[in-house]
């Protein structure tokens, strides 16, 4: 079941990709999230802890409870947090659709790249709201693969990304969820909903993002579903390989890359 839920899988390469993504984007995604001393924060869907270390470092005096479905991911997350010397995170196996916490347990809730992978994001938000105290905040960060484009582009490059969107949908997820974040938070009953886009634009004047985002985060993510794509036959192998090569071409000098994350905040 977990194997079918997370479209990108649980390989070591995927863990590296998630860390590259988190490091390249930490300022962009996390700079405006900090929780006060002694507040209790639930991070739901922490995976291997790629975002957890940024969350915990930004709020060193808050107490963070990071949960995930997969025990092996939690072990990696625990090791990652220990490796950077952070002591304010505890870990627990839990499912967003069956959270083992009483009502109003947490001062704040944080989720990053979780809703895009679950079949019922509305229900996930209601469950998160249940464990959040009245007046507490929720912060949700999600991507939107439909926001991606590059130059130069080709039909094959565009099709590889569409294939990933289709494969994620077959896993029950929605890779275009960023644009839906505002209505989702409103419909779940949160108030003071604010959604801000975080656009990553890359050209060769930004070599750190060429490596950290274009190649090691985005193209690596698309490449990561190669076997699933070929076994489903959404594209033939030669076209898929050309699409990936074309994306790498857009990460060369003269090329550009754009992608938008969405960060939503709201109060219960």
Contact residues toward its own copies (CB under 8 A) are 144, 146-147, 149-151, 176, 179-180, 182-183, 186-187, 193-197, 199, 201, 203-205, 254-256, 258, 260
Q: How far is the CB of 238 from its own copies (least distance, A)?
A: 25
Residue with tokens 């509305």: 122
* The two three-digit tokens of residue 132, written as one number: 């959040």
Residues 182, 128: contact at Cβ < 8 Å? no
Q: How far is the CB of 158 from its own copies (least distance, A)?
A: 10
Is 175 buried (19+), middle (13-18) or exposed (0-12) by CB count in 10 A?
Answer: buried
Residues 113, 49: contact at Cβ < 8 Å? no
Name the residue nearer to its own copies (CB basis): 49 or 212: 212
Q: Is 70 helix (H, G, I), strand (E, B) or coil?
A: coil
DSSP H/E element including 135:
strand 132-142
Q: How far is the CB of 220 from its own copies (least distance, A)?
A: 21
Name the residue nearer to its own copies (CB basis): 92 or 260: 260
Name the residue nearer to its own copies (CB basis): 119 or 196: 196
Q: What Rg, from alpha-carbon coordinates, does the chain have?
A: 18
Q: Is 239 helix (H, G, I), strand (E, B) or coil?
A: helix
Name the residue nearer to its own copies (CB basis): 99 or 150: 150
Q: Is 107 helix (H, G, I), strand (E, B) or coil?
A: strand
Q: How far is the CB of 194 from its own copies (least distance, A)?
A: 7
Q: How far is the CB of 173 from its own copies (least distance, A)?
A: 16
* The two three-digit tokens of residue 82, written as one number: 């220990």
CA 2 – CA 136 distance, rounded (Å)? 30
Name the residue nearer to its own copies (CB basis): 97 or 201: 201
Name the residue nearer to its own copies (CB basis): 107 or 142: 142
Q: How far is the CB of 69 from its own copies (least distance, A)?
A: 27
CA 112 – CA 96 distance, rounded (Å)? 13
């Amino acid at each position: 079941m977990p194997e079918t839920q997370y479209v990108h899988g649980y390989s070591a390469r995927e863990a590296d990709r998630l860390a590259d993504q988190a490091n390249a984007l930490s300022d962009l995604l996390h700079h405006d999230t900090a929780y006060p001393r002694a507040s209790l924060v639930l991070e739901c869907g922490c995976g291997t802890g790629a975002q957890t270390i940024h969350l915990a470092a930004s709020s060193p005096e808050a107490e963070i409870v990071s949960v995930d479905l997969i025990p092996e991911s939690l072990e990696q997350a625990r090791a990652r947090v220990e490796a950077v010397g952070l002591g304010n995170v505890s870990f627990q196996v839990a499912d967003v659709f069956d959270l083992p916490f009483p009502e109003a347990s947490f001062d704040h809730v944080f989720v990053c790249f979780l809703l895009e992978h679950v079949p019922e994001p509305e229900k996930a938000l209601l469950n998160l709201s249940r464990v959040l105290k009245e007046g507490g905040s929720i912060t949700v960060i999600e991507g939107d693969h439909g926001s991606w484009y590059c130059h130069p582009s080709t039909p094959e490059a565009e099709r590889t990304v569409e294939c990933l969107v289709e494969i994620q949908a077959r896993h029950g997820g929605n890779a275009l969820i960023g644009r839906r974040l505002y209505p989702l938070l409103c419909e779940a009953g949160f108030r003071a909903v604010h959604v801000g886009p975080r656009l990553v634009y890359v050209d060769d004047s930004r070599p750190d993002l060429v490596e950290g985002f274009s190649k090691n985060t985005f193209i690596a993510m698309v490449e990561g579903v190669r076997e699933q794509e070929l076994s489903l036959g959404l594209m033939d192998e030669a076209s898929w390989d050309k699409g990936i090569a074309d994306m790498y071409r857009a990460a060369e000098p003269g090329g550009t890359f754009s992608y938008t994350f969405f960060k939503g905040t709201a109060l219960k």
